[in-house]
């Protein structure tokens, strides 16, 4: 199993390769054809989605972000690969009437990094936004 440092090194090398060898502007988004993907893997080392998720989780725990985008799943907030990042401690639903009837879910959660968050989403499987509480006291 690769270490977090090795995965981060490969991701950094891939970013450099995409910007400087392939001359792609990553600030605006980009796409890679299969030949370009194979060239990057050969030059920098392959990084799987599970490895990217490990780096993301390690960063979430260490850096304790003030804002984060996750996905609601029952009483859990997950990252994009489905790994739990926070436990919902309370939530309330509110239906909004309008052009399209939507249900917003407001919640409080505690991250795996120990930070207390509040946020809003649209239900299970849909993205949600989390913001760290200014006062982290009990």
Residues 53, 112: contact at Cβ < 8 Å?
A: no
Instruction: Name the residue among 11, 19, 89, 13 with its Cα closest to residue 56.
Output: 11
pLDDT tens digits for range 43-78: 999 999 999 999 999 999 999 999 999 999 999 999
pLDDT tens digits for range 96-106: 776 665 788 99
Domain assignments of the chain as residue spans, ordered by start: 4-47, 65-132
Mean pLDDT of the chain: 90
> Whole-model pTM?
0.79
């Amino acid at each position: 199993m690769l270490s977090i440092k090795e995965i981060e090194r490969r991701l950094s090398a891939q970013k450099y390769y995409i910007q400087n060898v392939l001359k792609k502007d990553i600030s605006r988004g980009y796409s890679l054809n299969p030949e370009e993907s194979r060239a990057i893997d050969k030059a920098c080392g392959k990084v799987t989605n599970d490895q990217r998720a490990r780096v993301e989780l390690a960063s979430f725990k260490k850096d304790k972000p003030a804002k984060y985008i996750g996905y609601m799943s029952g009483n859990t907030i997950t990252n994009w690969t489905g790994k739990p990042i926070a436990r919902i401690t309370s939530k309330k639903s509110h239906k909004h009437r309008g052009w399209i009837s939507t249900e917003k879910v407001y919640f409080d959660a505690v991250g795996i990094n120990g930070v207390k968050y509040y946020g809003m989403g649209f239900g299970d499987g849909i993205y949600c936004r989390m913001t760290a509480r200014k006062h982290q006291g009990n």
